[in-house]
Structure 1
Amino acid sequence: MSIKPNTVVSLTYELHTTNEEGQQVFVEKADKENALVFLYGTGMMLPKFEEHLSGLNVGDEYSFELSAADGYGEIDPGAFADLPKDMFKDVELPAVGDVIPLQDNQGNHFRAGVTAVHEDVVAVDLNHPMAGKNLIFAGEILSVREATQEELSHGHAHGADGHSGH
């Protein structure tokens, strides 16, 4: 069976980006013992990631690069903010490089990277950590099966075999 909408895909991958010198930098991987399992075609994965997998079969190997625009987007220069230091009076003051949890006025949760700590403010980057980076994927398709009706109604896979539900 080939990968198409409403199939459950199990795959391995290695993800790399490139640094300023153009060298590949390892980010993360999913191996056979800890495979990525997802319901294809439901918007859970990056659209261009899925596009590159379309039509592949069990045992097929793949390798492709997504541009930043097709991944997590370009860096938005407007997505930087200065938070008042007194926001952190009840918790330890974050340091440069920390990733902190935040919540907006509508109750949406997100994370921000601390870029600087000044006298009165903590400067944060609200861009996705992978924004502005090309994503280089390589891996192998481990299994492809039709999604169950329960998976389709829930909008996500219940494991490679369909029985790892919740």
Structure 2
Amino acid sequence: MKIEKGKLVSMDYSLYTDGPDGELIEETTAEEPFEFIYGHEAMLDKFEETLKGMEAGKAFSVLIKAEDAYGPEQEDAFVEMEKSMFVVDGELDEELIAEGEVVPLQDEDGNEILAVIAENNENTVVVDLNHPLAGVDLYFDGEVLEVREPSEEEWSRIHE
């Protein structure tokens, strides 16, 4: 069976930054594969284009440039916030706002978004709201393990 819209795809892959010699940032295995329904989830378009028409047993390698992945890093996604916004139960947790720490924030609709502390100043912190992989080229190296019709339960996951 070939990969096409609506098929469940099971695969293993290794994901590197900046090409095959880059840093390994994610890995799945045949024992714990990655599964998705082709054309129905938030997969990168260029990634899906590479897989279209493949069958089980087919290996793939694809370099996705940053602009086709999560885009370039946006300067306006760096936001300065008062440290008082990070006070919990009357106390400021300095470890929470250390540079490089990931902190959960809420937007005006109550949705959780993750930010990275970019700077810790005397009275403020600068948070980076860019996607963690913004500005990064991605290199996938893997194999299609299975292509099949999804079960009703698998379909229901994407329609929740």
Q: Which stretches in structure 1 are left out of the alignment for 5+ residues? A: 157-166
Q: Does 1:108 align with 2:108?
A: no
Within a 5 Å distance, the mapping from 1:12-161 to structure 2 comes to: 12-18=12-18, 24-90=22-88, 92-93=93-94, 94-155=97-158
Gaps of 5+ in 2: none
Q: Which amino acid aligns with 2:112?
A: H
Query: Which stretch of structure 1 is more off in the superposition, 82-91 or 103-112?
Result: 82-91
* Matched AA of 2:51: L
User: Which amino acid letter does the alignment assign opposite residue 27 of structure 2?
Assistant: K
Runs of 4+ deviating beyond 4 Å: none
Does the 8 A contact of 1:38 with 1:44 survive in 2? no
Matched length: 155
Hey, what's the Cα distance between the residues in 1 that align with 2:24 and 2:48? 21
Distance (Å, rounded) in 1 between the aligned partners of 2:84 and 2:155: 46
Alignment of 1:1-20 (within 5 A): 1-18=1-18
Q: CA deviation at 1:28?
A: 1.0
**What TM-score, normalized by structure 2, do the two folds share?**
0.90
Instruction: Supply the distance in 2 between the matched residues of 1:110 and 1:13 (Cα, whole angstroms).
Output: 27
Measured in 2, the distance between the counterparts of 1:109 and 1:34 equals: 27
Q: Any idea what SS the aligned residue of 1:119 has?
A: coil
**Identity between Structure 1 and Structure 2 (%):** 41
Give the alignment's Cα RMSD to 1 decimal: 2.0
